[in-house]
Chains A and B, each alone.
Chain A
Amino acid sequence: MTEIGAFFAMGGYAGFVWSAYGIAAAVLGGLSVYSWRRYRDSIVTVERLQQDLGRRR
């Protein structure tokens, strides 16, 4: 077995080790992406509202 193959095989426990890291990455990454998107949206909303208010004056 090649070295890289051995790395991905994880001593025969590939399914468990990689899915553990995968779930952790998916959950924490997902939360990060969601939080960031919502943050960007909030900035856009505030800017738009401020412009509206500025136009009205």
Chain B
Amino acid sequence: MINWLANPARFMRLSAKAVPWCSWTAVLVLAVGLFWSLMVAPPDYQQGDTVRIMYVHVPAAWMALSVYLFVAVASAVALVWRHPLAEVAARAAAPIGAAFTFVCLATGSLWGRPMWGTWWVWDARLTSVLILFFLYLGYIALANAFDDPSRGGRAAAVLALVGVVNLPIIKFSVDWWNTLHQPASVMRIGGPRIDISMLAPLLIMALGFTLLFAVLLMVRMRTALNERRAMALRLNAGAIPAPRPGREPVVSANTVVP
């Protein structure tokens, strides 16, 4: 399976078909999800209409974490099997994950203001997400910090694995830290039980976000492969100063990947 997908040419072919389909499905699902969460879902008896923020906030939080896991797994595959597409996938996914993390933080803050009376509390969960955001920023900065793009990719892959080992440790320490510095008036949000009328839009939005992630991932991966191809073509053009008749330039989909 991994080897079968390892071929960038095959990825280009498959994703060319998949992108339009996924895009339209994502638009449709997100439209349904927005309609449901803004119009159909009932206001909460305690939180009123602010509960509608949950339908963006919670799926964004899920995405923030699962995209980081995706980056880590892709990085592991890239490092262990030298899988050429895995590295491209990890680098393409990280900015999307950072965007979801930012959305999670911003909407959480906008939810906290009317509910807790403050834009920010140093709650264990919020703090962990903030640190996750910094981990994303570090990954992106490192991946783009080198003149040689493949060097950046490998360094960032190691960092993603270091980060994923650290994530539970950071979570544990933040939880510990928080139980000691518990802010007095934090209202517990949600609970184990959630009504089906609220769960449905939540899951639809989560599905919509996942589809959006898939589309963006494929588009960004295609961009990265195109850019590598452009670089290979440029090198090739430079390498052949004079036209040589009867010789095909050695550019194929496979030369795209170093």
- A residues adjacent to B (C-beta < 8 A): 7, 10-13, 16-17, 19-21, 23-24, 27-28, 31-32, 35-36, 38-39, 42-43, 45-46, 49-50, 52-53, 56-57
Contact = CB atoms under 8 A, between A and B. Distances in A.
Nearest to B52: A17
Contacts of A23: 103, 106-107, 110
Contacts of A28: 99-100, 103, 212
A46 B107 contact: no
Nearest to A36: B219
Contacts, number: 105
Most chain A beta carbons < 10 A, residue from B96, B230, B237, B243: B230
B110 A19 contact: yes
B43 interface: yes
Nearest to B225: A42
Given A13-B49, A53-B249, A42 B219 contact: no
Interface of A is mostly: helix
Interface of B is mostly: helix
Contacts of B240: 56
A45 B230 contact: yes
A35 B219 contact: yes
Interface stretch (B53-61, B79-87, B181-189): B53-61
Given A23-B107, A31-B95, A56-B243, 5 more contacts: A11-B49, A16-B111, A24-B106, A31-B99, A53-B249
A42 B230 contact: yes
B243 A32 contact: no
A56 B34 CA distance: 53
Contact of B237 (A7, A31, A56): A56
